[in-house]
Amino acid sequence: MSSMVESATQVRDTAGLTAALEAVLFTLNRPVTVLELQDILQSTLPDIEAAAVSLGQALTGRGLFLQRHQDQLQLVTDPAQADVVRRVLRPEYPSRLSPAAYETLAIIAYRQPLTRARIEEIRGVNCEAVLESLEEKGLIEETGRLDAPGTPRLFGTTMKFLQILGLSSLDELPPPPQSASTSS
């Protein structure tokens, strides 16, 4: 009988933590790190992770979506509802990306974190202006510095990148196309 009570209490605690996580993410309306959530919810990392999985499953088929990028979580509109939301909000359409920007963004998405030099090595052309444009649009950001002479910036994708693609995490990216050159 004692184990049934403990199990029921644990389910209530997990359900309560999941509800609290949903409330916090809804209220903050921005990406929140797992460390922030541990502090806000006064809970352990494994419990926060379990609540995130539970919340993601609970939102399946609903109008909201739990998005995860590295150690950040955010509650967003389900991409399947984009047309409805677009009609309501009538946002300005973002400027289109050039083929060079798409190519650079794909390289970063699949191989991040990368330095500008490595991106240019892969593409075979100077990427400074393209990287600046992608950074201004909020699709990439500096994720750190390489421990090498000059400490070059490392680039990675952002939460906005996932939002535009309608992905909950980078794990949902389709596999990269096979090519003759598959080295990283």
Q: How many helices (H) and strands (E) does the chain have?
A: 8, 6
The domain locations on the chain are 8-88, 99-172
Question: Quick one: fold of 8-88?
Answer: Arc Repressor Mutant, subunit A (1.10.10)
Predicted TM-score (pTM) of this structure: 0.57
pLDDT band, very low/low/confident/very high, at 79 (cuts 50, 70, 90): confident
| 135-144: pLDDT as tens digits | 999 999 999 9
| 144-176: pLDDT as tens digits | 999 999 999 999 999 989 888 888 889 999 988
What pLDDT score does 83 carry? 80
Top-tier CATH class for 99-172? mainly alpha
Same topology between domain 8-88 and domain 99-172 = yes
